[in-house]
Amino acid sequence: MDTILQLVLNGLAVGCIYGLVALGFVLIYKTTELVNFSQGDLLMLGAFTCYMFVVWYGVGYWAAFALAIVAVALFGALLDATILRRVIGQPQFAVVMLTIGLGATFRSFASITWGSEIYTLPTPFSARQTMLGKVSVSHEYVAIIVGTVLLCAVLYAFFTYTKVGVAMQATSQNQLAAYYMGIPVKRMFSLIWAISAGVAAVAGVLLAPVSLIDVNLGFIGLKAFAAAVLGGFGSILGALIGGLTIGLIEMFAGTYLPQGFKDVAAYVVLLIVLAVRPQGMFGTVGRKKV
Amino acid sequence: MRFVFKTSYGQDVTLFRDSVQRNTYIALFLALLTLPLVVPEYVGDISLVFIYSLCGVSLMVLTGYTGLVSLGHAAFIGIGAYVYVYAAQDLGAPWFVAVALAVAVTAASGVLVGLPALRMTGVYLSIATLAFALIIQEVFTRWDAVTGGLKGKPVAKAVIFGVSFGSEERFYFLCLAFLLGGLWLTANLLRSPTGRAWVAIRDSEVAAQSMGVNLALYKTMAFAYSAGLMGMAGALFAHKIGFLAPDIFSVLFSIQFLLMVVVGGLGSLHGAVYGAVFVALLPVLISQSRDAVPVWAGHLFGVFGKDAGNTVFSAVDRFVKQAGLEPGIFGLILVLFILFEPLGIYGRWVKIRLYFSSFPLYKHATFRRQKSYMRSERLR
């Protein structure tokens, strides 16, 4: 029983990270219909930026956290304004290739700027744990779960109660109609890229103490993809649930199945779900109108 | 400008448009035959170009002609390579049987991926193929008995009907023969009803279906054919690299194939070959310019005095010797192509050719992309 509780806790923490990255995919997809394959690399940039502020410049952890979010969010907005806006309306394939190329460029940039070594980010809750019965609760994992819940609450409030948030929802539902209603669609796009990049940065900083920072940190995006697709690409709740599912599956597969299943279990489940329900668990993609 | 006077419908689907084109290809073929005599030191690189071209043609059929984006073609070339090596070395099958087996198994796995893919569209399909490739890579790692696991599997030289293809020149001709065969087969398939059905599916699934194209059949066929061709390339690739290890067939390898078809030009067999040339030779070019660029930069800034030249030289030298630079250059090239020349090298060549053949009358607007506000792939 304790093992299972322990696994659930760890799975939820890892799943939160997948969920956050998946959330980034979904936010961008819902609003702009672009699929951003470089989301994982934005996460990596976020983790590195925070590391740089903390270790190189001696900024406090929380300030560095905020700076990293702002920096990566600005970068995301800039990315949209300069590059990605030019491919709107082109086939999805072009966008996929473009963001894959951007991701490779980011990795290269990171390895040139910060070096290709593996770093540890010192945090106020590093390597501390509390015992609840026989379950050891690592503070890093608690930080991840709390951070995710807070972030989701903030995003929910933003999209539901603020004018900009509602405008974004409108843009996501119908760009042309939103434009006619006087919503600056282009600015909304940049803003959603900023939010999405910011979410990626949060995920990166939260992940950094658990999994060390290196240039290939972004490949976690592949699993987050599985999460996003599992939840149906257009559903925010789905992305989070998909992420948690993938995290739990991974933990249990790593413990109870033979070696090697830990890494592929998520993909196996993904293929099965896609074969049964091609639009994901909460997806709304249907027949294209001509 | 040269026009072909068509007198029958058959002329619309001939392999060569006119005698000029046919003769050009024959001349190119003769040039390729004599190439090992001209540049013997690059024969190895050029055979890799041929193998990559075969991969490019394979992915071009699926992505460029049928419009199904696969992020998992490394899995197919991997399956082909492992099946071929296992059959040829562990089971002792003759070369021909081993290749046939590799193609058959890869095509079957292509169908396996293709079947669930029938119900998926766009990005879902890409992710499904990606997931498939990641699973297959793990299988390569874990199935020690067949693949040799992480230790890898050495590949012996090819022996075909008692003739050894161990030397670089002979292997070059083997690859050339395979590439020509693959290109010919594909070109014939593409000008047949099958190929037209594929293009129809790419352009509009709904329209194709309403014209009576059996989507399930043709999509599965595209997957099977593409995978089979990849399996064939895999057999050659195994010999080319001489040692199989699971981490060769990673996601990055799949992306490299996609890079090939995008940079070459989607929707043309020429593009697949151009892309392969580009992808295979770019690392060579980069490694050579690693030494040259700092020297040039040093000379250039040398005019401001010796110190400036030396400073710039060492700075540039340190920069270009960074290990992580190469994938970044690949990525950057990909980005630039998508932004500025979505039709790839072949598209650029078509434009240049049209410019000269219609010299004073070339209109820039001929190739202008239609801008649409949004092309929704969602239903609401």
Average pLDDT taken over every residue of chain B: 85
- Between residues B42 and B133, the one the model is more confident about: B133
Closest alpha carbon within chain B to A38: B331
- Mutation site, B263, B335, B341, interface A, largest A CB count within 10 A: B335
- Sequence-distant (≥ 6) Cβ neighbours of residue B327 within 8 angstroms: A104, A107, A108, B252
Residue A286 belongs to some domain of the structure: no
């086939």: which residue's tokens?
A91
Distance CA A246, CA A268 (A): 11
Distance CA B112, CA A71 (A): 44
pTM of the model: 0.87
**Residue B380 pLDDT greater than 50, yes or no:** no
Residue A282 belongs to some domain of the structure: no
**Number of structural domains found in chain A:** 1
* Both tokens assigned to B264: 């070459």
The DSSP call for residue B14 is -
Q: Which domain holds residue A211?
A: 2-276
**Residue B222 pLDDT greater than 90, yes or no:** yes
Distance CA B349, CA B258 (A): 20
Residue A36 belongs to some domain of the structure: yes
- Residues B47 and B255: beta-carbon distance below 8 Å: no
pLDDT value at residue B315: 75
Residue A113 belongs to some domain of the structure: yes
**Residue B7 pLDDT greater than 80, yes or no:** yes
Residue A288 belongs to some domain of the structure: no
Query: Which residues of A fall within a CB distance of 8 Å from B335?
Result: 83, 98, 101-102, 105
Tens of pLDDT along B283-341?
A: 888 878 777 777 787 777 777 777 777 777 777 777 776 767 778 888 888 889 888 88
CATH code of the domain covering residue A46: 1.10.3470
pLDDT value at residue B377: 52
| Beta bridge partners of residue A119, listed in sequence order | A213
- Sequence-distant (≥ 6) Cβ neighbours of residue A180 within 8 angstroms: none
**Residue B198 pLDDT greater than 90, yes or no:** yes
Closest alpha carbon within chain B to A32: B374
- Sequence-distant (≥ 6) Cβ neighbours of residue A75 within 8 angstroms: A42, A45, A197
Q: Shortest CB distance from A290 goes to which of B135, B206, B332?
A: B206
Residue A283 belongs to some domain of the structure: no
Q: What is the mean pLDDT of residues B176-180?
A: 92
Q: State whether A289 and B379 contact (CB < 8 Å).
A: yes
Q: Does residue A60 sit at the B interface (CB-CB below 8 Å)?
A: no
| Beta bridge partners of residue A129, listed in sequence order | A138
Tens of pLDDT along B347-379?
A: 888 888 888 888 888 887 777 766 555 555 554
Q: Shortest CB distance from B327 goes to which of A104, A225, A234?
A: A104
| Beta bridge partners of residue A137, listed in sequence order | A130
- Residues A151 and A206: beta-carbon distance below 8 Å: no
Q: What is the mean pLDDT of residues B11-35?
A: 88
Interface of B with A in 10-39 (CB under 8 A): none
- Mutation site, A48, A85, A93, interface B, largest B CB count within 10 A: A93
pLDDT value at residue B106: 95
Query: Which residues of A fall within a CB distance of 8 Å from B278?
Result: none
Q: Does residue A33 sit at the B interface (CB-CB below 8 Å)?
A: yes
What percent of chain B stands above pLDDT 90? 29
Where residue B83 falls among pLDDT bands split at 50, 70, 90? very high
Tens of pLDDT along B229-249?
A: 999 999 999 988 888 888 888
Q: State whether A86 and B339 contact (CB < 8 Å).
A: yes
Query: Which residues of A fall within a CB distance of 8 Å from B135?
Result: 264, 267-268, 271
Q: Shortest CB distance from A271 goes to which of B132, B251, B334?
A: B132
Q: What are phi and psi of B15, to 5 degrees?
A: -65, -45
Give the residues of chain A that fall short of pLDDT 50: 289-290
